[in-house]
Structure 1
Amino acid sequence: MIDPALFEENERTASVADERQYVEVGALDCECGKRLESVTVAYETWGELNAEKSNAIFLFHALSGDAHAIGWWDRLVGPGKAFDTDKFFVICSNALGGCQGTTGPASTGPDNYFYGSSFPMITVGDMVEVQSRLLDHLGIKQLHAVGGGSMGGMQALEWTVRFPNRVRHCVLTATCGAHSAMQIGFNEAGRQAIIRDPNFSGGDYYESKPPDQGLSVARMLGHLSFLSQEAFEAKFGRRLQNKTTPDMNFGIEFEVESYLNYQGDKFTKRFDANSLLHLTRAIDYYEFQNAERAEADYLVISYTSDWIYPTSQSIALETQLIEAGKNVTRHEIDLPYGHDAFLLDGDQQAVLIKEFLER
C-alpha cells in the first residue's frame, strides 16, 4: 500500500507565512570570501521553552522546505509526536539562501536591488552560522537535539562539530556526510535545466519573466529521484492519461507524465530558481570530515527503498562517527516510498526518535 501523501508533495510543503517570525542577525562573512551586509532569518517555534532553557530542539528542512516544520513534518512534529511540542520547544528556520523569508537571492540588498547573480555562493557552514545567531537571539545556550533529513541532516551534522558544546542529541535521517558523484550529477542536471532557460538571464530575472520552464524541469527530475520505482509503478504503471489509445504525439500521453508536469509547474509558484541553484550547490560542496570535536549522541536512520540517499551512505557515516569515538545508533527501515519516506514515516521512525530523545 502506497501512502497517497507521497504524491501530494506541493500540498504537503505549501509555505505558510502567518506564523513566521523574523530576526536580523547582522552581517555574514561567507566562507566563499564574500560578505552579506545584513541577514534576516525567518523562523517558527512550537511548544514552551522551560525555565532552564534546556528543552529546545532545532529542526532543519530539506531542499524545498521552509520554517513550517509542523507542516512538512506533520507526522513527527506536534503534541505527543516524536518531536513532542508538549515536552519540547521546537524551532525551525528557513535556511540561508532559501526563498521563504530568510535572506536569499530573491531578497533585496542594502542598495534595495534584488541580489540575483550577486548573491554569494553559500555553504552548509554558512547556514549553520546564521542558525546559531538565531539561537543566541532566543537566549538558548544548548540544544537538547538537532535533527533533519536530506539537506536538513547535513545541517544537523554540521551543528555537532561547529558548535559541539551546544548539541546533546543529533537525529539524522535519509542523509549523508558527502554527496556521491551520482547525487551531484542529479543536482547538476537540475541546475542546467534552469541555467539554460532563456529567461534565466544570468540569475537577474526578478524584474522580468522568471525561468519557470527550467525550474519546472529541474523539479521533475528531483521528484523522480525522491520516490521509488515501486511507488511509481503502484501509482501510475503504464496507464494513459484520460484516453484508451495514445495520440501519437509529444503531448501528455501517460498518467505519470501528467503528474510530473503538474508537480513541476506548481513548484514554480512557491520556489525561486536561484535558491534551488544555491542550495543544491551548497549541499554538493558539503563534506563531513572530522567528528573528533563532536559531543552529541547520534541517531542515524535510512530507508531500504531510498536509492538517492542509500543505506550504504548511512553505514559510512556511522563508521566515521564510531571511529571518532562517538555514540551512534543506526537503523534501516523497510518502507517502499523512496527518499521521501523520511517525511511520511510517522510510525517506525517516530518510535526510534522518541526513544532516542528520552536518553
Structure 2
Amino acid sequence: MDVERDTRSLGSFTFECGDVIDDLEVAYEAYGEFTGDNAVLVCHALTGSQNVASRSSGDTAGQARAWWSDVVGPGKAIDTTEYYVVCANVPGSCYGTSGPATEAPDGEPYGTDFPPVTVGDWTRAQRRLLDDLGVGRLHAVVGGSVGGMNALDWVKQYPDDVRLVAAIATSARLDPQCLGLNAIARRAITTDHDWDGGDYYGEDHPDPTDGLALARQIGHIMYLSKASMERKFGRRSAGRGSVRDTFPVDEAAGFFPYREVESYLDYQAENFVDRFDANAYLYLTRAMDDYDLSEGYGSDAEAIGAFDGEALLLSFTGDWHFTVEQSETLADAFREADAEVAHHVVDSDHGHDAFLVEPENVGPPLSDFLAAGVGGRAVSDTEESERSGHAPVHNSLFPG
C-alpha cells in the first residue's frame, strides 16, 4: 500500500487560548488517490498517531503504529483503493506535529511553554493541512474515542465541509468519573520528581517515566471492562518469580502474589514510556477533558444545527468510558437537528478498546455507511445487523 508520509509547515497558528506560534508543523500520512470528492479524514485517539495503517515509519512504535490497519487499507472498511485517506497527528502530541517536546524559536524544547491545546485547535489545524493538500469538502470524517470528539467538532466548526461523520465510542463530553481519573493520571506525572515542572528534556535529565507509567496504567483500566478483565486475568498469579513490588518489606515479596493483571499493566506501561512524552500526555488529556460539543451554544443540537449531512454513531455495551447511553444522547441531538443518523450498539464485553480490537464489528457498518450513508445495508437492515452483532438502536429502546 502506497503511503504519502510528510510533515507540512502551516505557518503562524493562533490557538483558542490566544497564544500564537510562528510555524505550526503537522505530521500526516495519506493513502490512496485523491479524485476530488473521495477524501476521508481519520482522527486518532488520545495517544495514537498519524500511522493509522502504516507499519513502516520509524517515528512510532507499539500501539501507535498501524493502530487501525484492520479497518483502513485496500479492500477494508475504509478502502484506500476507493478513498483518499488522511490522518494527521494533532497539535500537542509527540509524533511529528508541534507540541511540548518540539523545538521552540529559542532552540530549546517548548515544554510547558507550549500553548494549551483544545480539540477545536486540532480541527482547525486539520482544516489548514487539508487546504494545503488541496482537499476541500470531505466525503467523511471518522474518529474513535477523543478522535470521535474531533470528528464531532468538524460537524460543529465546518458543517459545510463534511458529507458524512462517523463518531465511534465517544460522547459530546466527558463525565465526572472520567474527568476525575484523568486528573489522577496527570497528578501521577506532575508529582514525579523527574517531571521538574515539565523541564525534563535533555540527555542530562531523566524523563518522568514513573509518573507517566502510572498515568498509562490508570488509562488501561479505564479502557477495559470488568468482564474483559475477569476473562483476561481473573485473580491468577503471574508467578512468584515475577514479583516486582516488595511491599511492605523485602521478605514479603515471596508471600504476596504478583498477579497477571499487575504484570499486564506493568508491561503496557513499560512499552508506553518508551514511545510517548509525559508533557504531551498532560496536554492531550486536558484537551479531552475540556471538550464540550455544546460550548458556545444552548445545546448539542444547536451546535450541530448547520450540518445537513449524515451521521453514524457506534457504541459498545461493555464500554464504561463512553457509554451506549452517551451515544444515544448524541443521536438524539442529531435527530433534533434534523440530520440523518444511525446509532449502532455492538454487544461486546471488551470495553472501550473494542473499537480498536474488534474490526469485525466496526468494519461492516462503517464500510456501508461510507458507501451509502444511513441507507447502507449493514446500517439500515435491522435483521442482518442483529445477526452480525451491530444492531441499530431505535427510539423505542430509549423511551422518553
Structure-2-length-normalised TM-score:
0.82
Which runs of 5 or more structure 2 residues have no equivalent in the other structure?
54-65, 244-250, 295-302, 373-400
Is 1:304 aligned to 2:317, yes or no? yes
Structure-2 residue corresponding to 1:278: 283
Q: Secondary structure at the match of 1:72?
A: coil
C-alpha contact 2:90 2:122 (8 A) present in aligned 1: yes
Could you tell me which amino acid in structure 2 is paired with residue 29 of structure 1? Answer: T
Could you tell me which amino acid in structure 2 is paired with residue 55 of structure 1? Answer: N
Structure-2 residue corresponding to 1:239: 236
Could you tell me which amino acid in structure 2 is paired with residue 153 of structure 1? Answer: G
Distance apart, 1:100 and its partner CA: 0.3
Q: How far apart, in 1, do the equivalents of 2:196 and 2:361 lie?
A: 46
Distance apart, 1:248 and its partner CA: 3.5
Higher Cα radius of gyration: 2
Deviations 1:286-328 (A, max 9, x none): 0001111223210000000001111111011111121112111
Is 1:266 aligned to 2:271, yes or no? yes
Equivalenced residue count is 340
Q: Secondary structure at the match of 1:157?
A: helix
Structure-1 residue corresponding to 2:385: none
Q: Secondary structure at the match of 1:20?
A: strand
Q: How far apart, in 1, do the equivalents of 2:212 and 2:233 lie?
A: 24
Which runs of 5 or more structure 1 residues have no equivalent in the other structure?
1-17
Q: How far apart, in 2, do the equivalents of 1:234 and 1:353 lie?
A: 28
Distance apart, 1:245 and its partner CA: 12
Is 1:143 aligned to 2:143, yes or no? no
Is 1:228 aligned to 2:225, yes or no? yes
C-alpha contact 2:194 2:206 (8 A) present in aligned 1: yes
Q: Secondary structure at the match of 2:193?
A: coil
Which of 303-312 and 228-237 deviates more?
228-237
> Which of 337, 346, 359 in structure 2 is aligned with 1:346?
359
> Which of 19, 22, 42 in structure 2 is aligned with 1:37?
22
Greater length-normalized contact order (CA 8 Å, ≥ 6 residues apart): 1
Name segments (4+ residues, structure 1) moved above 3 Å. Answer: 243-252
Of all paired residues, the percent bearing the same amino acid is 42
Distance apart, 1:244 and its partner CA: 9.5
Deviations 1:250-306 (A, max 9, x none): 987111111111111210000001111000001111000111122321000000000
Distance apart, 1:348 and its partner CA: 2.4
C-alpha contact 1:20 1:67 (8 A) present in aligned 2: no
C-alpha contact 1:252 1:258 (8 A) present in aligned 2: no
Q: Secondary structure at the match of 2:343?
A: strand
Q: How far apart, in 1, do the equivalents of 2:350 and 2:136 lie?
A: 37
Structure-2 residue corresponding to 1:125: 120
Q: How far apart, in 1, do the equivalents of 2:157 and 2:308 lie?
A: 11
Q: How far apart, in 1, do the equivalents of 2:257 and 2:48 lie?
A: 29
Structure-2 residue corresponding to 1:324: 337
C-alpha contact 2:46 2:284 (8 A) present in aligned 1: yes
Structure-1-length-normalised TM-score:
0.92
Q: How far apart, in 2, do the equivalents of 1:83 and 1:172 lie?
A: 14
> Which of 35, 43, 50 in structure 2 is aligned with 1:67?
50
Distance apart, 1:243 and its partner CA: 3.5
From the superposition, tell whether residues 352 and 209 of structure 1 become closer, same or farther in structure 2 (CA, over 3 Å): same
Is 1:47 aligned to 2:32, yes or no? yes
Which of 178-187 and 229-238 deviates more?
229-238
Could you tell me which amino acid in structure 1 is paired with residue 41 of structure 2? Answer: F
> Which of 146, 171, 176 in structure 2 is aligned with 1:176?
171
Q: How far apart, in 2, do the equivalents of 1:121 and 1:149 lie?
A: 22
Structure-1 residue corresponding to 2:260: 255
Structure-1 residue corresponding to 2:380: none
Q: How far apart, in 2, do the equivalents of 1:291 and 1:325 lie?
A: 10
Could you tell me which amino acid in structure 1 is paired with residue 47 of structure 2? Answer: S
From the superposition, tell whether residues 251 and 277 of structure 1 become closer, same or farther in structure 2 (CA, over 3 Å): farther
- Give the 5 Å matches for 1:181-196: 181-196=176-191
